[in-house]
Amino acid sequence: IENSRDKANLTRAASKINENLYASTALERGTLKVKSMQITWLPIQGPEQKAAKAKALEYMAAIIRTVAPLLTKEQSQKKLQKMLIAGKGKHYYAETEGAVRYVVADNGEKGLTFAVEPIKLALSENLEGAN
């Protein structure tokens, strides 16, 4: 979810990995802090579709491992599959784990985007009052 203020404060960049796979990022202007890292897969028709999607899912699982390095390849793939299942048929699905939010946007025939976003952490009032 973004507003016009967010757009003004962000620098976006995208790279083409291959014909149907793109990596992109959103950086905060001035500080260049990463606000979002994304992999987008655009479906292709024909016999290569299954292999192309498998490659895209490998990239997505690898992004999970960059922010959760203790996960094995298999664990990151299972985590991704769980999120893809949870996000099926929804505009997007978001899951927060610690200081990271994972977002899946499955647009069916239009493509699949997986994003990792750092989130700001703050103490809740309940915790502050307990100290």
pLDDT digits (tens, 9 = 90+) for 39-89: 999 998 889 989 999 999 999 999 999 999 999 999 999 999 999 999 998
Q: Check the CA dihedral 51-55-57-61 and report its sign.
A: positive
Count of residues in the chain: 131
The model's pTM: 0.82
Residue 127 has pLDDT above 90, yes or no: no
- Tokens standing for residue 26: 């959103």
Confidence of residue 108 (pLDDT cuts 50, 70, 90): confident
